[in-house]
Chain A
């Protein structure tokens, strides 16, 4: 057999071996068998030196072609086997993507405080600071300085929680006490005006207490948000513009706002603010009692008597104040049917918002 025939046979045999290799290991075995240090093609190549000078170039050329062809076949096959192996590995790792993910649930802000935060942000954006005051108040701050007459019905034992006064002082109103749980956040108005000179732009959220039995629409403890502005040249129009801005931020641009004249002892003129019912859009439905309007806050111009109690000249300064209940706003905004849910601490409620 000539060297050419030998090389040709060897090539056919090697290429067959490449084709029949089924995995990377058997392919490597083929490579070693032909091209390894002891491989059969290597042996042929080594044997070229013993050929005559006439035979050598042709045999050298042919054997080189066989080597290249074999190497190419090996490379191609390896790349194919590699991608097959990758594909099968990937397919073995496939998961059901509809299985639940591993969540690390962060805790939730209480929905009432979410509402408070949103309101605080709106008013801080308008240049307000946040005011504070004690929850156990003195009668003076809760009633007297806010222009409530001594026999105002809100002062009655059935409406206001009174606290045992251990100072031995005699109560202004007999049988009651001058220490009480504040019934509104309005005393913060008085504290603020006592400690700060105008201009005053203050928002005061906080807990308040009234003697109501807890039921779907009442709580003995709830959250109010008070606003107070005292500056030169403050008008009723400023109050109106401010509250309209707030309502649109809170309930969206579609809400309409109306101010209805009302009475509060510590503001004059006073108004209640209604927003158009979000459910019926003002047509009248069960939620709004057929009126098309939902009452959300009370407001008015600071009464000159209140200014006098804190030594602010009502001829130089004017101001407005407003107050609203966070529970009511949250109930309206999220459609919560029973206010008691806010205070029971049920995890399934707390995690909803």
Chain B
């Protein structure tokens, strides 16, 4: 809402400076979003006097003038207007001035004649609507004085943020009332009764309201003999300050009343409304599905069945509360005007305005609520103004369809309740005087007041609403700051919340950085990854996505992580190690709310660090990812973990595994398959993993049992076992563990050897299809230092058993 302070100060006394006023408005709930100084845009426009006026030697329509602007030398100016003579005083835009329309005045040559400025019309200065010629100033206008100063144009316009509960503040009168209340100054409501003459309006118009619930009140007035033309300057300046464009005197007056009182009005050309029996017939009804209306903006609108329209017997002539129709628009030929001042339902207006994408000053007000009591008063004032500026006469009476005036709303405000909710010593008297200043009426009651709410405050319907009014005017800054005193509270995180934090701690310790990605996914990710959801599961589809790439909710973290890798690689940041902890979603036919699962995923590409002065950058691979997962599982206290070779479409076969905890698959890890890397524009190797958080939480334990710290040294023996390619490290470790007895304390794999593929036969150290795994075994006792004699037989027995179980041979 744009508020001209010049206008406002006619309605309420403002005896403080602008910044104090703004602070006070801010602190009472009407935020001042911006302060504009107007009139300043007329810098460089001064009052001048035409000294000579001669015809242009080469152009019939131009004249060459000399103009005194108070400088030592008169300016030569070439001018196209004809409505002036030597001796006239006019506004002159000098070289360098910028006009409100954005035009900057430069020294120019017009058909060979130098022009050092421009004499202006009222339209060019945006101070009036007359574009037909120069703005001729009174004879006493002082030459050389800035035109803005002379004309008293400078104004301050406040841009107020009006919250949706305050429709009353969408008018100058409402803002004046609010300012009066918060500044403690008196304000006045402009009202006027028009002088009526001629045949009564009731003889010229009938109104029928078919849906009184959607249109609680409809009034119509008739003006005869209107002369449509430009508005006087004061009217143009007012509505321009409020943000409207001047159109003609009739439309401008309706806009003026909209801004002044908050009542949207519509003026119809009475002759364009179909009449029967000499009476124009206004029908307020819902549209018939498929009906059409060409609105004022020239567009043909197809109407839905619940759209409220103003119609005549032929069809719709306006969208109720939103926009008028082009056919019944007031034009230069209009003589008689039908003035509508009505009240329309909030939901209906907002639905229509939303559906048609039409937001107007009128719809903005109706969708928040317009006071039905205001309609007739606004019609009176508009009629009187219209008579003043258009020379028309006001037909006697208002046709007013108002079946049910609202019952006055009476609320009890309890003083104790007020103080209990706010926690401040606001007295009953203070509360009462605040409410009275806001225009409410009070009766004392046993525990406070009975408060009657005026119809312009539809937001006040409960005691708490009154409490809010009191505290915002009394001053939130005066409320003492305290802490809640509740005794029964304990602040803590749940085990699950602690677990989620631990997951991050472990992965960061493992070198991964946390990422927060979009929860949206591209439906085509399904195909790119080769993903298959569970039986009956489908992705969660958005009805109104921002784009095709974000049309569903992610069902895996994988696609987002790959996009992050590609994003980094394209920007030359190829060392990517990130993890994300976030929800994924799937749904199923017949299901309302989707399933939400918390997952943790990670991705590794490039190296941990760039090569440095003494270290190479080792490319990250499967085992770096696996190490991160192992770090995580250890931190969560998850044991009995197995990695089982698996085939998943988005992972490279042979370099991917399922992560199995106590027999259940809890996730996967692997290097991303080449065709998937291509689909996401990423360069491999890229290792990725994803695990379900809930199963990890279930399997993990936060308690750790103590095991004795070794007191005696261990005996370490190294062995190299030659086995078939198919035998896994896990099988060997398993065989050793079960054969080792209680002295075996630790097994560490320290080498895996295969003959190079291209090694010549003479240099092959292993039989075909074999590999060698070297382990360091440590034996230890908690009772004594072990001797070789004790360990040897145990070790030999272990070797024999392992070889039998796995077909291994001990490498010499």
Contact = CB atoms under 8 A, between A and B. Distances in A.
Interface string A116-142: 000010011111111000111110000
A262 interface: yes
Contact of B492 (A129, A211, A220, A237): A129
Interface stretch (B439-447, B605-613, B784-792): B605-613
Contact of B553 (A102, A136, A153, A261): A136
A100 B613 contact: yes
Interface string B687-711: 0000000000000000000000000
Interface string A94-107: 00000110111111
B491 A263 contact: no
Contact of B576 (A113, A126, A347): A347
Contact of A179 (B351, B568, B577, B592): B592
A347 B514 contact: no
B156 interface: no
Interface string A184-199: 0000000000000001
A156 B350 CA distance: 10
A229 to B, nearest CB: 6
A138 to B, nearest CB: 6
Contacts, number: 272
Interface string B556-585: 000000011001100101011111001101
Interface string B456-480: 0000001011011001100011011
Contacts of B421: 235-236, 301, 318
A350 B578 contact: yes
Interface stretch (A46-54, A61-69, A76-84, A161-169): A161-169
Given A136-B594, A260-B476, A318 B578 contact: no
Interface stretch (B54-62, B64-72, B125-133, B158-166): B158-166
A268 B518 CA distance: 34
A107 B511 contact: yes
A220 B464 contact: no
A236 B420 CA distance: 9
A253 interface: no
Contact of A346 (B163, B567, B592): B567
Nearest to B351: A151
A260 B29 contact: yes
Given A130-B494, A135-B596, A166-B589, A346 B571 contact: yes
Contact of A162 (B422, B477, B509, B542): B542
Contacts of B354: 153, 156
Contacts of A207: 519, 582-583
Contact of B27 (A130, A166, A260): A260
Contacts of B519: 135, 207, 209, 221
Contacts of A32: none
A113 to B, nearest CB: 6
Given A102-B615, A271-B476, A346 B347 contact: no
Contacts of A89: none
Task: Tell which of A125, A158, A347 has the most Cβ of chain B within 10 Å.
Answer: A347
B422 A236 contact: yes
A167 B550 CA distance: 23
B485 A233 contact: yes
Contacts of A177: 543
Given A150-B347, A229-B484, A303-B464, A166 B588 contact: yes
Contacts of A150: 347
B546 interface: yes
A74 B169 CA distance: 106
Q: Which of A129, A236, A258 has the most CB of B within 10 A?
A: A236
B588 to A, nearest CB: 7
Contacts of A110: 513-516
B471 A351 contact: no
B541 interface: yes
A127 B545 contact: no
A161 B484 CA distance: 36
B513 A237 contact: no
A18 to B, nearest CB: 44
A31 interface: no
Given A261-B472, A346-B568, A163 B540 contact: yes
B490 interface: yes
A234 interface: yes
B544 A157 contact: yes
A261 B29 contact: yes
A238 B514 contact: no
A105 B509 CA distance: 8
Given A163-B541, A167-B590, A303-B464, A107 B27 contact: no
Interface string A250-276: 000000001111110000111110000
B420 A233 contact: yes
B481 interface: yes
A297 interface: no
A345 B578 contact: yes
A198 to B, nearest CB: 9
B592 A167 contact: yes
Interface stretch (A4-12, A20-28, A35-43, A239-247): A239-247
A257 B420 CA distance: 23
A151 B421 CA distance: 29
A163 B543 contact: yes
A129 B588 CA distance: 33
B573 A348 contact: yes
Contacts of B543: 157, 161-164, 176-177
B103 interface: no
Interface in A165-183: 165-169, 176-179, 181
Contact of B420 (A156, A164, A235): A235
A164 B493 CA distance: 34
B724 to A, nearest CB: 37
A343 B516 contact: yes
A157 to B, nearest CB: 5
Looking at A158, A169, A259, A318, the one whose CB has the most chain B CB atoms below 10 A away is A259
Nearest to A152: B164
A158 B350 CA distance: 14
Contact of A153 (B350, B518, B613): B350
Contact of A269 (B468, B520, B571): B468
A213 interface: yes
A343 B519 CA distance: 10
B504 interface: yes
Nearest to B471: A269
B508 to A, nearest CB: 4
Contacts of B163: 262-263
A109 B564 CA distance: 16
B511 A259 contact: no
B482 interface: yes
Nearest to B588: A166
Contact of B542 (A123, A161, A233, A238): A161
Contacts of B538: 166
A130 B592 contact: no
User: Most B CB atoms within 10 A — which of A106, A113, A240, A345?
Assistant: A345
Nearest to B496: A132
A159 B627 CA distance: 44
B645 interface: no
Contacts of B588: 166
B644 to A, nearest CB: 27
B31 interface: yes
B587 interface: yes
Nearest 10 pairs between A and B by C-beta?
A: A235-B423, A261-B29, A237-B423, A263-B163, A345-B564, A241-B481, A261-B472, A107-B508, A269-B468, A167-B592
27 contacts: A106-B509, A107-B507, A107-B511, A107-B578, A108-B508, A128-B489, A136-B596, A151-B346, A163-B541, A165-B592, A166-B588, A169-B592, A201-B486, A201-B489, A209-B519, A221-B518, A221-B519, A235-B482, A241-B481, A241-B482, A260-B29, A261-B468, A270-B468, A271-B476, A343-B518, A347-B573, A347-B575
Given A135-B519, A201-B489, 8 more contacts: A106-B508, A124-B492, A129-B490, A151-B347, A167-B591, A236-B476, A237-B424, A237-B480
